[in-house]
């Protein structure tokens, strides 16, 4: 959602359980998405300020992440609170991981610059069931065009937010939100609301896999 909203989708909510983290790429930059023990979601730069280890390799322990390399611990605000090699040190406020605003809407985790207003996402359904994420070797525009050009049978595109495709059909609303991993790679996060039965989700997941296979076949034919 780059043109009208600062919010970028980074993962399916269902894929980041409490106490876990995952690294991802957003516009070529490494980010860590993690969920604390209270269920709150966080998105940070994926780099420890000490020696640059990826935070996504670390361990979520309650309400903080401990870096894999030397165990420095960071609270939910990204502030380092404890350095094992110097247990009595009052850690300087300057040792902090850059953080982003993070929220969840329509079954998807979204990030934006700190201070962004989540009202920009209010047109989306509040909750939705996960279908799957699809990773494509295409630019964001090309990936969204491929979706609208070949929607699942019985579903039609309807106007929606920028950098997303909304499909309606079979008493369901399907949201396909595009995460620009870099200029030539895109992740599509797919959720469904309304008729979100297991059969509907399975049909949509099979459509997504078929779409990816067809796009990959086209790419190898062109090579």
Residues binding ligand FES (CB under 6 A)? 48, 50-51, 53, 67, 69-70, 72
How far apart are alpha carbons 65 and 82 in whole angstroms? 11
Sign of CA dihedral 116, 120, 125, 129: negative
Using alpha carbons, select from 209, 122, 188, 131 the residue that is nearest to residue 161. Answer: 122
Paired tokens of 117:
């207003």
Pick the closer one to ligand FES by CB: 67 or 116. Answer: 67
Pick the closer one to ligand FES by CB: 70 or 214. Answer: 70
Smallest separation, CB 83 to ligand FES (Å): 8
Paired tokens of 33:
């998405």
Smallest separation, CB 1 to ligand FES (Å): 32
Using alpha carbons, select from 101, 19, 30 the residue that is nearest to residue 66. Answer: 19
Pick the closer one to ligand FES by CB: 63 or 216. Answer: 63
Smallest separation, CB 74 to ligand FES (Å): 9
Pick the closer one to ligand FES by CB: 84 or 162. Answer: 84
Smallest separation, CB 189 to ligand FES (Å): 29
Smallest separation, CB 67 to ligand FES (Å): 3
Pick the closer one to ligand FES by CB: 50 or 185. Answer: 50
């Amino acid at each position: 959602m780059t043109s009208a909203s600062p919010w970028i989708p980074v993962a399916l909510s269902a894929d980041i359980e409490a106490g876990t983290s995952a690294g991802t790429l957003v516009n070529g930059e490494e980010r860590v998405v993690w969920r604390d023990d209270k269920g709150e979601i966080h998105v940070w730069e994926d780099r420890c300020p000490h020696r640059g280890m990826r935070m996504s390799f670390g361990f979520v322990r309650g309400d903080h992440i401990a870096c894999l390399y030397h165990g420095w611990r960071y609270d939910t605000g990204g502030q380092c609170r404890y350095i094992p090699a110097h247990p009595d040190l009052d850690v300087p406020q300057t040792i902090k991981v850059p953080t982003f605003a993070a929220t969840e809407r329509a079954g998807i985790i979204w990030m934006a610059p700190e201070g962004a207003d989540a009202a920009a996402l209010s047109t989306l359904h509040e909750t939705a069931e996960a279908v799957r994420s699809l990773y494509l070797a295409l630019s964001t525009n090309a990936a969204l065009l491929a979706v609208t050009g070949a929607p699942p049978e019985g579903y039609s595109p309807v106007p929606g937010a920028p950098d997303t495709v909304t499909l309606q059909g079979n008493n369901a609303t399907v949201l396909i939100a595009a995460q620009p991993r870099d200029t030539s790679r895109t992740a599509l996060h797919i959720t469904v609301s309304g008729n979100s039965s297991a059969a509907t989700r399975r049909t949509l997941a099979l459509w997504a896999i078929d779409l990816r296979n067809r796009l990959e076949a086209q790419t190898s034919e062109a090579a």
